[in-house]
Homo-oligomer: A and B are copies of this chain.
Amino acid sequence: MTKKKAIVLLSGGLDSTTTLFYAIERGFDCCALVFDYGQRHRKELKSAAAIAKDKNIPFTIIKIKLPWKGSSLLEKEMPLPVRKKMKGIPSTYVPARNTIFISFALSYAEAVGAGAIFIGANAVDFSGYPDCRPAYYQAFQKLIEKATKKGDIMIIAPLLNMTKKQIIKLGMELGAPLHKTWSCYAGGKMPCGVCDSCQLRERGFSLYNKVK
């Protein structure tokens, strides 16, 4: 039997890397899809490329320029929010970012006959972005049923209801190279340690190390 094909959205971070290894372990023939969308730095792109290359996974980069403003993830002159001081949806939110990413993955999946799209979205230890919540993925699944020729492509978000600690544990068990992943929004030589993404990551590792 030929392996089932899947498109995996890979950012080079902890969650998407664990998701890639989860899809591989589930027997999927994976293609990684990576977005160069004007994020503040290119560190995560390098991480994504290194991780895919190590596993001999085909790797496609889509370059996108969003000309509208308003996200601190895209505008270097805007300050990054500090997790402790955050209220509501943080300024790192990029409007409809995951919708754009999944749309491209859907196009790719339909073009190559893949039956699944994997995404490392998480709705527990997360920043509160609307496009990371379970109801969003349920609605996208229903859209796919109407949007494509056969309507049979599945969105799979295996980490959706896990804590960061559980994600790290799963990544470790799957042999994912978590040391090669990059989470910091700032993209300095070392992670800044104060941005939302750093804080979520650090807390996860700290909890994981306490109980392992």
Contacts and interface: CB of A to CB of B under 8 A. Distances in A.
Interface of A: 60, 62-71, 89, 93-100, 102-104, 106-112, 130-131, 133, 135-136, 138-140, 142-143, 145-149, 151
B99 A66 contact: no
A130 B145 CA distance: 10
Given A136-B143, A136-B147, A139-B147, A106 B111 contact: no
A67 B60 contact: yes
Given A68-B108, A68-B111, A71-B111, 7 more contacts: A89-B149, A93-B149, A95-B109, A95-B149, A99-B107, A100-B100, A100-B104
A106 B95 contact: yes
B96 A148 contact: yes
B96 A147 contact: yes
A199 B98 CA distance: 37
A155 to B, nearest CB: 11
Given A143-B136, A143-B139, A143-B143, A111 B70 contact: yes
Contacts of A62: 64-65, 67
Contacts of A102: 103
Contacts of A140: 143
B136 A95 contact: no
A115 to B, nearest CB: 14
Contacts of A71: 111
A111 B71 CA distance: 9
Contacts of A94: 107
B96 A106 contact: yes
Contact of A96 (B68, B95, B107): B107
A107 to B, nearest CB: 4
B107 A68 contact: yes
